[in-house]
Every structure is written in structure tokens, then in C-alpha cells.
């Protein structure tokens, strides 16, 4: 019997019939219609939209059993109509019928809309509560109600994500919504339910990740402080103390007392590991904190916290690993125009950068006659370069510079004296307490010599930055009020350096009525400005010297370092400063103060990525009438994006194509600052067109920026970007038709490319994500060499040694080896320059006598015998060498010998030279480790020493000895530590014999 086959139901071609069912009186019919409509909304939403009033009426009817279904249908219709706000309202009404896990475009869109609304309302509640607390009111009274349905919807999504262990997405939502309770829950949940990502694996890993995230991605400074305080609370509640992370958070929060308490607890502990942790914390603090902060730390750690240990270790590494190629300097000296004083000065400056911190000044000693061409301010700069070369050589600084420093009863060249005082400050940069009294006496004894005052003021500023020293500030203010253009500019800069980032009230001098006007202006913008800023801004209105005004503008900007939103009112004031009443022989004030406003943004928002700061800079960059201000605005973008270098080329891409050459120059410099040492392909592509720009100073900026980007690049192939850039620099220096300004940039760029003996890079942020204050300040003032060339030497503050230096509990360097999982050539030094000239062999016809044939035959027989004997000996040697090489290779595989030692042994066999390349490299303590190499570094399998800070592969690394009873093999004690720890005689690298700059 045949089975009847029912025809398939015809596809629905209209929703009219279903919509008609909504008008029936039976509830079940209406429910059935809604169920059908919910499935066909994507196809018939246009028809259904005409019946939206009926559907909404069903939702509003509280007696209707399927109100939530009606809300869901209405929500979908509004979604397809593009009315997302209404769609979200009805989705909230649908409650649990709105499935957050559905994964459709409709759900994802409304979830995004819901999250935006949720975060917006929570942000408003947080800001209202914070404002109420600041005014002394109750935080609960300011809370605004949030739709409970919205909260439930987002909570369902959060719980679903947490169940899937998608912690990163929930963390982003919690940060946007200012929900610290949810952030704490996520962090603590990582131990109970580890996620799939590396930072989700445990609470400790998540805490480390959050610290970096909060420091770089959270812009509101007040909320960031709240988050750091939350991390401190979580760290303190951990069952096993994690002192390194806790101290890092306390330092970020500026809690010196808290850090001191931790250090006291660790140093007084009987545990060797606790002592190592205290040392590691101290070394990290030196890299990231100001002098004023470090003063409050534990007395037993002053050797480290004073910076003496770090300076000594860096000096030891740079002297030992110096790979400066003096042939490059010799080549530039020969190629440059001997009569051009600017090129001469550039080569002297480049020499100091190439030898920064290495104490190697043999090039100057070998070219004293050539050096004697430096006169006046060129002599000032040449003398100051000694400070860059010997930076960190603090024990011998005074004896080294004695021939140039001011002497009682003797009057040498004021330019040499001023340059020497500046050099003394550079040697003690950011650690100047030992030299403070000397510089203060020198400033008081300078009399009216403005050149000596200039150098002394710069030396005080660079050595005592961030110290907030009242006495020094008052002395510098006295120099400023003398109204000398040269000395006043340096005094203004030094005042800003002393009060770096303080933004704290300063005692006003007696009768300082000049501060009244700026106080009124600042108060009109709702800010109670620090009196130090008021004094400087007031004097900017009173002086007639443009140099002083510019120095004051930068000094004011320095006072707001790291203050972020607190600097906004001051920026607004400087940008809207009305031009003062015209006075005789006075420069226009507006552009210079707007210029200072841009650097205020640069210093206040450095390495924050603040969108608000970027918007201000971009607006000024395209709208201001002053070229200097526009250039400064674009440069400030590089500072703001220093923590996210990949973004900078994209942000300034259009500005790099501007018709205004000052904007193009600023774009090049911004990319150089932000992407320094990164080798960024995008940055180099943006800079390449500017290398052939028709304007000379744009080419100068592009050359300098390219060198900054390519610092520590390890690609030395003939067709690499680095090799091409070196060739471009050589051509520009040797081209007799090239503009002098471009040549100056090429020479200095050559020095930057090989800075610090090819062992340093420029970095504005540390490995832990903290801002490096001296580096940011140094790069900021370095960019002002546009107006004053001696300021170019401030770039040395940004130089960071690329080293791994391991120390034991006695602060000694043990014999420690570790592995780099990349071939040695991947991160090798550049090959040395060769000055060998190819010689063409010439052939000369010789006469052959009849008697010579017999003698030649006898000689040939003797040579054959000698060669046979030599071959036998060579075979024996080869066999011995093969055995030795085999043993060396086995030792290298175990990590008992470094790759450099193996390469030296393999050179004994020229035919095996190609085998010197390994798949990995064994490095010895201390060793050069590039930023790009850090991710390849790891411990050897049977390593005796382990880092206290897990995963630390560069910088100063405190090592835990896993075999404390075994005898240690130690490297020679670094000189800076020998004198302090043992009271021994000074064992620092001996300074070279003093030499006088010829007149």
C-alpha cells in the first residue's frame, strides 16, 4: 500500500496574516502570532513596523502573559529600522528572552549599545561621587539611579563571559564603567579559574598585567590612583607576599613611606631571598623615581638608592663593552668643510654621543690642533661634551675637569669654565647631592659673568632635577631677576628642572607684586597655580628678552611633568594669554607662551596616550599662526604616544605631508621620539620622503629621527634599512653642495646611531612600563637645540644601557651564563669600518738568465721537502685542534662556555669558520642584551643562579644562589662598589690625563 506524501508547507510570503491575529481577542492567538513574528522579523520587518503600536500595547499591558515576547519582537523591529536606542529599551523589557549568548548581529549590536550606556551612567555616577567627596559631601548622596534592567542585562553578559573565562573583555568593561569591585573579582578569580592567556594564568600574573594596563591605558589620573590603591590592597592580602609587585605599586602611587616600610622589613629579615628582593626593589626605584622620593627610603640601602651602585654598574658595562668606531669620526672630520665652524662643532658633539659614558676621549687628544678651532660658545659646548663622555664617573669628576673649572685668583676662558660647570652637572645627572655645594658656591662666585652663570645654572638644573631644593631655587631666581638674557634663560630652565613635576606652592619672595597678574588669570580658569609657576609666568610679562621668556615657558612646562589633567587649566591659560600692552623693545608674548603650552602637554601627558591631549595638539598643529607653536604641537604628539609607538606614525601621517615645513619637521621628530630604538617599519616609511625634502631643516629632522628609530638595530646586511641610512649619512656629510644645516643634522645623527659605544638606546619608558623621568626631560630639552645648540647634550639623559647585569646578595657579579635563543649574528654589533685601500698588483717583465734554471730546480726540491714536513706538522695540529673544538662545542652545549669564546676557538680552523654560527648564543655576565633580544633570553637548564624577579632578562638582575654552600666564582668588583663597600682605595677606571683646549 502506497504511503501518501504530504506536500511541504509553502514558504511564508507575507506577515499580514500573522499581524491580523494580533487583533483577535483570544490571548493564545496573540501569543501564537508573536511567536511566529519573532522568527520572521528579519524578512518582514518593514510590514511588521506598521503594527508596532499594537505590539507595544501588548508589552504595556501588564495582564498580558507574554509581555516580554512582545518587547523582544518590538526590539528587533526597531533594530532593523535603525532606531538602536528604542531597540535597547525594548530589549531590556524582554529580560531573559534577550539571549546574550546568541551571537547574532542583532544581539552583538545591542550588547555594545547596552555596554556603552552602562559605562556612561557608571562614569557619571563615579565622577559625581568623586566630586562630592572632594567638596566634603557624602558619596552616596550623589549617586544617580541606573536602570535595573540595564544592570541585569550587563550582569548576565559578565557572568557568561566569566564562565567562559574571557577575563580580558570583562576587564575592559570594568575599567570603562569604573567598577573596582568587578576588577578585584576578576583578579582574584584567576587563581581559582585560570584563563587561557598568559596573564590569566594566576592572580600574580593578572596583577602584573593590570599594573601595566592601568599605567598606560587608564587616562584619568584620579581613577588610576584608585586602581593602584586597589592593587596595593590585593597585594597585601595575598597568602604569599609578593614584595616586588607591591613596591612597584606603592612607588607608582608616590607612597615613599610604604616603600620604606617594605624595604625595612626585607632588609631586617634573616632570609637571604628577602635581602635580594630588597636590593632588586631598590635598583628598580632608582630607575623610576625622583631624588625627593628616594630620600625617604631606608638608610641601609643608600648605596643603591643614591644611584651610586647603578651608576657604577652602568659605567663598568659601558667602559668594558665600548665598541666605538673612531674611523667614522675620522672620516667625517676629513669629509666636512674644515672652515665650517658648525660642522666642526657637530663633530665634537657627535663624538661625545658616540662615547657617552665610556670615558674614551682619545679622539679629542689625538686632534688637539683641530679641536683648538672651537671658540666662544663652540668652546663652551666642546668642554661640556666631556660631561657626556664621562657621565657617571662621579668619583673623579672634579679632578677630571679641574683644568677647566673656575679657580680662585685665576681667570681662564669663561666659555671653558661655563662648559666645565655644565659638564660637572651632566656627570652627576639626576644624582647631584654630592656636588650641590660646589655648584652653589660657583654660582655665587660667578659675579656678573653671564657665561659662567649660564653653565652653572644648567649644571645645577640637570644634576638636581626634581629635588625641589629651596636654597638653589632662590639663588637661581636671583640670577633670573638680574635680567641677563644668556644667564636668565639657563636660570629659568634650571628652576623648572628643580621643581620638576612638583606643582607645589613655593614661598613668594618679598615684594613680588609681579605675580599678581598671572594669579588673576589662572584663577579665572579655576586653578590655584603653584607660586613657582606664578613667579615665572609673572616675570615672563616683565622681561624684554625673548630668550628668557622661552626659558620660562619651558620651565613652567617642566613644573607640570606627569600631572596630566591637573595641567589643563594652565595649558588653557597659556593658550589664551592675551597680548600685553605694547611696550618698547619687547617681543610678542603670545606665541612663546603658546609654545610653552605645547610642551606643558608634552611633559604632563608623556607616555599616557591621552586622547584629550592629542586632540589639543592636533588642533593647534593645524590652526596656530606661529610656525614655532605648530612645530612644538606636533613634537608633543611624540611624547604623548611614547608608550604606544606603533600609533605615532599613523597619527602624524597627514601632518608629515603638510605644506608647512615646520609641521613636517615636527612630524619627523615626533616619530623619532616615540619610536626611538624600535626599528619601526612604518616610522621609517614615513621618514623616507622627508630625507629628500626641499627644505634643509626638514632633512635635518628626518636624518636625526631615522637614527633614533634605528638605534640598536641588528640588521647589518648590505641591503638593510640601517646600512642604507649609514650610506645616506656618509653621502650628506661628504657632499660639498649640501646645506650646512642638513650636514649638521647628519653628523649628529651619526653620533646618535652609535651612541654610548653602541651599547645604549633611547627609551622613555622602563621595562616595567613606568615613565623614565630623566629620559623624557632630556628628550624634551634636546628638541630645543633648534634655538640653542648646547642643549643638544641633554639627549644623553635618555640613553639607557642595553645590558643584563647579574648581582648576588653581596652586590658582586658572579660567573653567570644565560641563553639567547637566537643565532649570534641576529643581535651582533655592527662590523667595524675598514680604511684599507685596494692595491692593484702590477706585473713587471723580468729577464731570465741561463744560469738561473739550475738554481731554481734545486730551490724547488728544497721547498718540496719543507712543505712535506710542514704538512705533517699541520696534520698533527689539526687533529689536536679538532679534539679541542669538539670539547669546546660540548662545553658550549652545556652552557659552560660562552659563544664568544667558542667563536674565538673556531677561528683556529679557518676552513671551519662557517661553523661558528650557532642556533643559540650563551651570554656571560654582564652582557649586552637588546630590547628586541629580551624575549629570546632564558636560563640555562642547570643554571646555579635564578633571578629574584621571575622572567627578568635585562637591566640589573638580583640573582638567587641555588647552591649557597658551594664556592662562588666572582668577577672583579665594580669600582664604584669597591670603595663604598670595602673602604678600599678608588678603583674606578682611571681618568685620562687632563688636557687644555688650545686657545
Render pLDDT for 950-968 as a digit per residue (tens, 0 to 9). Answer: 888 888 888 988 888 888 8
Give the three cell numbers for residue 973: 668588583
Whether the per-residue pLDDT at 468 is higher than 50: the answer is yes
Residue 951, preceding peptide bond in cis (omega within 30° of 0): no
- pLDDT, one tens digit per residue, over 209-219 is 888 888 777 66
Give the three cell numbers for residue 500: 620638576
Whether the per-residue pLDDT at 840 is higher than 80: the answer is no
pLDDT value at residue 169: 85
Q: What is the DSSP string of 126-184?
A: HHHHHHHHHTT--TTTTPPP--HHHHHHHHHHHHHHHHTT-HHHHHHHHHHTT-HHHHH
In this prediction, residue 295 has a pLDDT band, given cuts at 50, 70 and 90, of low
Residues 6+ apart with CB under 8 A from 565: 220, 221, 222
421 vs 986, residue with greater confidence? 421
Strand partners, 961: 945
Cα–Cα distance measured from residue 371 to residue 366, given in angstroms and rounded to the nearest whole number: 9
Phi-psi label, residue 501: left if phi above 0, alpha if psi -120 to 50, beta otherwise: left
- CA distance between the termini of the chain: 124
- CB 477 within 8 Å of CB 509: yes
- CB 326 within 8 Å of CB 751: no
Alpha carbon of residue 614 to chain centroid: 18
**Nearest one of 170, 248, 178 to 218, comparing CA atoms:** 178
In this prediction, residue 827 has a pLDDT band, given cuts at 50, 70 and 90, of confident
Cα–Cα distance measured from residue 909 to residue 231, given in angstroms and rounded to the nearest whole number: 58
Residues 6+ apart with CB under 8 A from 139: 129, 130, 132, 133
Residue that the C-alpha cell 548576565 belongs to: 156
Cα–Cα distance measured from residue 593 to residue 598, given in angstroms and rounded to the nearest whole number: 9
Average of per-residue pLDDT across 801-806: 90
Residue that the C-alpha cell 535603525 belongs to: 82
**Nearest one of 366, 363, 334 to 348, comparing CA atoms:** 363
Alpha carbon separation from 313 to 100, 286, 974 (Å, rounded): 57, 13, 7
pLDDT value at residue 265: 84
Whether the per-residue pLDDT at 204 is higher than 90: the answer is no
- pLDDT, one tens digit per residue, over 884-905 is 666 666 666 666 677 776 666 6
pLDDT value at residue 454: 94
**Nearest one of 182, 322, 446, 516 to 989, comparing CA atoms:** 322
- CB 977 within 8 Å of CB 826: no
Average of per-residue pLDDT across 370-394: 89
Average of per-residue pLDDT across 793-821: 89
Average of per-residue pLDDT across 789-811: 91
In this prediction, residue 986 has a pLDDT band, given cuts at 50, 70 and 90, of very low
Alpha carbon separation from 165 to 176, 179, 246, 387 (Å, rounded): 19, 18, 26, 55
Q: Is 983 helix (H, G, I), strand (E, B) or coil?
A: coil
419 vs 861, residue with greater confidence? 419
659 vs 312, residue with greater confidence? 659
pLDDT value at residue 409: 63
Cα–Cα distance measured from residue 599 to residue 621, given in angstroms and rounded to the nearest whole number: 13
Phi-psi label, residue 447: left if phi above 0, alpha if psi -120 to 50, beta otherwise: left
| Residue 893 exposure: Cα atoms within 13 Å on the Cβ side | 6
- Ranked by mean pLDDT, the top range of 456-460, 585-589, 927-931 is 456-460
- pLDDT, one tens digit per residue, over 914-930 is 555 678 888 888 889 98
- CB 793 within 8 Å of CB 936: no
In this prediction, residue 836 has a pLDDT band, given cuts at 50, 70 and 90, of low
In this prediction, residue 521 has a pLDDT band, given cuts at 50, 70 and 90, of very low
pLDDT value at residue 727: 92
Cβ of 989: how many Cβ atoms within 10 Å? 18
Helical segments of 526-626, H only: 531-542, 546-559, 568-575, 590-604, 611-623
**Nearest one of 265, 241, 768 to 257, comparing CA atoms:** 265
Phi-psi label, residue 845: left if phi above 0, alpha if psi -120 to 50, beta otherwise: beta
pLDDT value at residue 835: 60
225 vs 906, residue with greater confidence? 225
The beta-strand segments (E) located in 327-402 are: none
pLDDT value at residue 615: 93
Average of per-residue pLDDT across 269-275: 83
Strand partners, 410: 407
In this prediction, residue 555 has a pLDDT band, given cuts at 50, 70 and 90, of very high
Residues 6+ apart with CB under 8 A from 681: none
Cα–Cα distance measured from residue 717 to residue 484, given in angstroms and rounded to the nearest whole number: 53
Eight-state DSSP code of residue 958: E
Average of per-residue pLDDT across 588-610: 88
Cα–Cα distance measured from residue 49 to residue 61, given in angstroms and rounded to the nearest whole number: 19
Total length of the chain: 999
| Residue 586 exposure: Cα atoms within 13 Å on the Cβ side | 17
The beta-strand segments (E) located in 372-487 are: none
Cα–Cα distance measured from residue 206 to residue 663, given in angstroms and rounded to the nearest whole number: 42
Whether the per-residue pLDDT at 451 is higher than 60: the answer is yes
581 vs 882, residue with greater confidence? 882
Strand partners, 762: 799
pLDDT value at residue 303: 66
Give the three cell numbers for residue 25: 481577542
Cβ of 278: how many Cβ atoms within 10 Å? 27
Cα–Cα distance measured from residue 554 to residue 497, given in angstroms and rounded to the nearest whole number: 9
What is the percent of the chain with per-residue pLDDT over 70, rounded to a whole number? 81
- pLDDT, one tens digit per residue, over 90-144 is 888 888 888 888 888 888 888 888 888 888 888 888 877 776 555 555 544 445 6
- pLDDT, one tens digit per residue, over 40-55 is 888 888 888 888 888 8
Residues 6+ apart with CB under 8 A from 481: 539
- pLDDT, one tens digit per residue, over 531-543 is 788 888 888 888 8
pLDDT value at residue 917: 62
Torsion sign (Cα): 763, 765, 769, 772: positive
In this prediction, residue 838 has a pLDDT band, given cuts at 50, 70 and 90, of very low
Helical segments of 688-772, H only: 696-710, 721-734, 740-753, 755-758
Residue 494's H or E segment, with its range, is helix 485-498
Give the three cell numbers for residue 182: 568587578
- CB 322 within 8 Å of CB 359: no
Whether the per-residue pLDDT at 29 is higher than 60: the answer is yes
294 vs 969, residue with greater confidence? 969
- CB 641 within 8 Å of CB 680: no
pLDDT value at residue 999: 45
Strand partners, 803: 928
Whether the per-residue pLDDT at 506 is higher than 50: the answer is no
Domain boundaries, the chain: 15-98, 814-829+884-969
Residue that the C-alpha cell 655592527 belongs to: 830
Eight-state DSSP code of residue 9: P
- pLDDT, one tens digit per residue, over 706-750 is 999 999 888 888 888 999 999 999 999 988 888 989 999 999 999
Whether the per-residue pLDDT at 466 is higher than 80: the answer is yes
Amino acid at each position: 500500500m502506497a504511503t501518501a506524501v504530504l506536500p511541504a508547507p509553502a514558504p511564508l510570503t507575507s506577515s499580514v496574516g500573522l499581524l491580523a491575529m494580533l487583533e483577535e481577542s483570544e490571548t493564545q492567538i496573540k501569543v501564537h502570532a508573536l511567536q511566529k513574528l519573532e522568527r520572521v522579523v528579519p524578512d518582514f520587518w518593514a510590514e511588521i513596523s506598521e503594527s508596532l503600536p499594537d505590539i507595544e500595547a501588548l508589552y504595556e499591558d501588564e495582564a498580558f502573559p507574554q509581555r516580554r515576547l512582545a518587547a523582544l519582537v518590538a526590539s528587533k523591529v526597531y533594530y532593523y529600522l535603525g532606531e538602536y536606542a528604542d531597540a535597547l529599551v525594548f530589549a531590556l523589557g524582554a529580560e531573559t528572552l534577550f539571549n546574550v549568548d546568541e551571537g547574532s548581529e542583532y544581539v552583538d549590536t545591542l550588547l555594545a549599545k547596552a555596554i556603552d550606556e552602562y559605562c556612561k551612567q557608571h562614569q557619571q555616577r563615579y565622577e559625581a561621587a568623586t566630586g562630592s567627596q572632594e567638596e566634603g559631601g557624602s558619596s552616596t548622596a550623589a549617586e544617580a539611579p541606573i536602570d535595573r534592567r540595564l544592570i541585569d542585562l550587563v550582569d548576565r553578559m559578565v557572568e557568561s563571559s566569566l564562565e567562559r573565562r574571557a577575563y580580558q573583555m570583562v576587564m575592559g568593561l570594568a575599567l570603562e564603567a569604573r567598577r573596582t569591585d568587578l576588577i578585584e573579582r576578576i583578579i582574584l578569580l584567576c587563581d581559582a579559574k585560570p584563563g587561557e592567556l598568559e596573564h590569566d594564568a594566576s592572580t600574580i600574573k593578572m596583577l602584573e598585567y593590570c599594573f601595566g594596563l592601568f599605567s598606560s591605558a587608564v587616562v584619568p589620573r584620579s581613577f588610576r590612583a584608585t586602581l593602584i590603591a586597589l592593587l596595593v590592597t590585593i597585594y597585601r592580602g595575598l597568602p604569599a607576599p609578593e614584595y616586588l609587585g607591591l613596591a612597584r605599586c606603592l612607588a607608582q602611587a608616590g607612597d615613599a613611606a610604604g616603600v620604606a616600610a617594605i624595604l625595612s622589613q626585607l632588609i631586617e629579615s634573616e632570609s637571604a631571598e628577602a635581602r635580594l628582593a630588597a636590593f632588586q626593589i631598590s635598583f628598580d626605584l632608582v630607575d623610576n623615581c625622583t631624588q625627593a622620593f628616594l630620600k625617604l627610603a631606608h638608610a641601609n640601602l643608600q648605596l643603591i638608592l643614591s644611584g651610586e651602585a647603578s651608576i657604577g654598574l652602568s659605567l663598568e658595562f659601558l667602559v668594558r663593552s665600548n665598541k666605538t668606531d673612531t674611523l667614522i669620526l675620522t672620516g667625517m672630520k676629513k669629509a666636512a668643510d674644515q672652515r665650517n665652524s658648525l660642522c666642526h662643532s657637530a663633530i665634537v658633539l657627535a663624538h661625545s654621543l658616540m662615547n657617552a659614558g665610556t670615558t674614551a676621549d682619545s679622539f679629542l687628544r689625538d686632534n688637539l690642533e683641530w679641536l683648538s678651532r672651537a671658540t666662544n660658545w663652540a668652546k663652551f659646548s666642546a668642554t661640556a661634551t666631556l660631561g657626556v663622555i664621562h657621565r657617571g664617573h662621579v668619583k673623579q669628576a672634579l679632578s677630571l675637569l679641574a683644568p677647566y673649572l673656575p679657580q680662585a685668583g685665576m681667570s681662564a676662558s669663561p666659555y671653558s669654565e661655563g662648559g666645565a660647570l655644565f659638564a660637572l652637572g651632566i656627570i652627576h645627572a639626576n644624582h647631584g647631592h654630592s656636588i650641590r655645594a660646589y655648584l652653589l658656591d660657583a654660582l655665587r662666585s660667578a659675579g656678573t659673568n653671564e657665561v659662567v652663570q649660564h653653565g652653572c645654572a644648567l649644571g645645577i638644573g640637570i644634576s638636581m632635577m626634581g629635588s625641589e631644593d629651596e636654597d638653589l631655587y632662590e639663588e637661581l631666581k636671583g640670577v633670573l631677576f638680574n635680567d641677563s638674557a644668556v644667564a636668565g634663560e639657563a636660570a629659568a630652565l634650571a628652576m623648572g628642572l628643580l621643581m620638576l613635576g612638583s606643582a607645589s606652592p613655593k614661598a613668594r619672595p618679598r615684594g613680588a607684586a609681579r605675580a599678581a597678574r598671572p594669579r588673576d588669570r589662572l584663577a579665572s580658569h579655576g586653578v590655584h597655580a603653584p607660586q613657582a609657576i606664578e613667579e615665572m609666568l609673572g616675570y615672563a610679562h616683565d622681561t624684554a628678552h625673548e630668550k628668557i621668556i622661552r626659558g620660562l615657558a619651558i620651565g613652567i612646562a617642566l613644573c607640570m611633568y606627569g600631572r596630566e589633567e591637573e595641567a589643563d587649566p594652565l595649558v588653557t591659560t597659556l593658550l589664551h594669554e592675551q597680548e600685553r600692552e605694547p611696550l618698547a623693545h619687547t617681543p610678542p608674548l603670545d606665541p612663546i607662551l603658546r609654545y610653552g603650552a605645547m610642551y606643558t602637554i608634552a611633559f604632563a601627558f608623556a607616555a599616557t596616550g591621552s586622547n584629550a591631549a592629542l586632540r589639543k595638539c592636533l588642533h593647534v598643529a593645524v590652526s596656530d599662526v606661529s610656525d614655532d607653536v605648530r612645530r612644538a604641537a606636533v613634537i608633543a604628539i611624540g611624547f604623548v604616544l611614547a608608550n604606544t609607538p606603533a600609533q605615532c606614525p599613523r597619527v602624524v601621517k597627514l601632518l608629515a605631508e603638510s605644506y608647512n615645513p615646520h609641521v613636517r619637521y615636527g612630524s619627523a621628530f615626533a616619530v623619532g621620539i616615540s619610536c626611538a630604538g624600535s626599528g619601526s617599519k612604518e616610522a621609517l616609511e614615513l621618514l623616507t620622503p622627508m630625507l629628500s625634502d626641499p627644505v634643509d631643516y626638514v632633512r635635518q629632522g628626518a636624518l636625526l629621527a631615522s637614527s633614533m628609530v634605528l638605534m640598536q638595530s641588528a640588521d647589518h646586511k648590505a641591503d638593510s634599512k640601517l646600512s642604507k641610512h649609514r650610506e645616506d649619512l656618509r653621502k650628506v656629510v661628504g657632499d660639498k653642495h649640501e646645506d650646512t644645516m642638513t650636514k649638521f643634522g647628519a653628523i649628529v645623527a651619526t653620533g646618535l646611531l652609535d651612541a654610548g659605544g653602541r651599547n645604549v638606546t633611547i627609551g622613555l619608558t622602563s621595562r616595567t612600563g613606568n615613565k623614565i623621568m630623566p629620559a623624557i626631560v632630556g628628550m624634551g630639552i634636546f628638541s630645543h637645540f633648534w634655538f640653542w645648540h648646547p642643549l643638544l647634550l641633554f639627549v644623553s639623559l635618555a640613553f639607557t644601557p642595553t645590558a643584563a647585569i647579574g648581582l648576588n646578595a653581596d652586590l658582586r657579579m658572579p660567573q653567570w651564563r644565560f641563553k639567547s635563543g637566537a643565532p649570534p649574528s641576529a643581535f651582533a654589533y655592527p662590523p667595524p669600518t675598514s680604511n684599507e685601500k685596494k692595491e692593484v698588483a702590477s706585473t713587471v717583465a723580468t729577464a731570465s738568465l741561463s744560469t738561473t734554471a739550475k738554481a731554481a730546480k734545486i730551490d724547488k726540491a728544497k721547498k718540496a721537502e719543507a712543505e712535506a714536513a710542514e704538512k705533517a706538522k699541520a696534520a698533527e695540529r689539526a687533529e689536536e685542534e679538532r679534539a679541542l673544538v669538539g670539547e669546546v662545542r660540548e662545553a658550549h652545549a652545556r652552557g659552560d662556555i660562552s659563544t664568544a669564546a667558542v667563536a674565538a676557538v673556531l677561528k683556529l680552523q679557518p676552513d671551519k669558520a662557517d661553523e661558528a654560527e650557532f642556533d643559540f648564543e650563551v651570554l656571560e655576565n654582564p652582557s649586552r642584551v637588546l630590547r628586541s633580544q629580551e624575549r629570546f633570553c632564558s636560563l640555562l637548564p642547570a643554571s646555579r643562579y635564578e633571578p629574584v624577579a621571575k622572567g627578568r632578562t635585562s637591566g640589573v638582575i638580583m640573582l638567587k644562589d641555588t647552591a649557597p654552600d658551594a664556592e662562588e666564582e666572582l668577577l672583579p668588583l665594580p669600582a664604584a662598589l669597591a670603595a663604598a663597600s670595602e673602604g678600599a682605595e678608588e678603583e674606578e677606571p682611571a681618568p685620562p690625563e687632563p688636557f687644555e683646549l688650545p686657545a
